[in-house]
């Protein structure tokens, strides 16, 4: 398994609203077209209205690489640039968990 956690900080409330819409559209395409993407969840952060956290879990590195090459992901990566003040990525090495088989 291959995973990551990403923290996005939007520029302002207007950017956060636009980012949320972009995320909704992107996740719908991921649901339809990415069988190797096991978990792709977007979270708001309590008390931090401009922050969003993604938790992403892929079958393997190849599934992540395939995800990165899709049209919807490339669109997301380009469109988010004008909406964000910062992006922080943590690459994850799954040890154990519930609901997943390492």
Residue 61 lies in a domain: yes
Residue 98 lies in a domain: no
Residue 101 lies in a domain: no
Q: What is the pLDDT of residue 74?
A: 98
Residue 100 lies in a domain: no
Which of the four pLDDT bands, split at 50, 70 and 90, describes residue 23? very high
Residue 58 lies in a domain: yes
Count of structural domains within the chain: 1
Average pLDDT over residues 60-69: 97
Is the dihedral angle over the CA atoms 65, 69, 72, 74 positive or is it negative?
positive
Average pLDDT over residues 54-70: 97
The set of residues, in sequence order, having a beta carbon less than 8 Å from that of 3 and lying 6+ positions away, is 39, 55, 56, 57, 58, 91, 92, 93, 94
Say which CATH number the domain at 40 has.
3.30.70.100
pLDDT over threshold 80, residue 26: yes
pLDDT over threshold 90, residue 99: no
Give the structural domain span for 45.
Answer: 2-92
């Amino acid at each position: 398994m291959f995973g990551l956690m990403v923290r996005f900080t939007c520029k302002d409330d207007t950017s956060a609203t636009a980012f949320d819409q972009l995320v909704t559209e992107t996740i719908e395409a991921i649901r339809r077209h990415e069988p190797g993407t096991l978990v792709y969840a977007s979270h708001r952060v309590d008390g931090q209205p401009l922050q969003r956290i993604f938790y992403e879990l892929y079958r393997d590195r190849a599934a992540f690489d395939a995800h990165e090459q899709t049209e919807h992901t490339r669109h997301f990566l380009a469109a988010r640039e004008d909406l964000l003040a910062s992006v922080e990525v943590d690459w994850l090495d799954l040890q154990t968990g519930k609901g997943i088989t390492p």
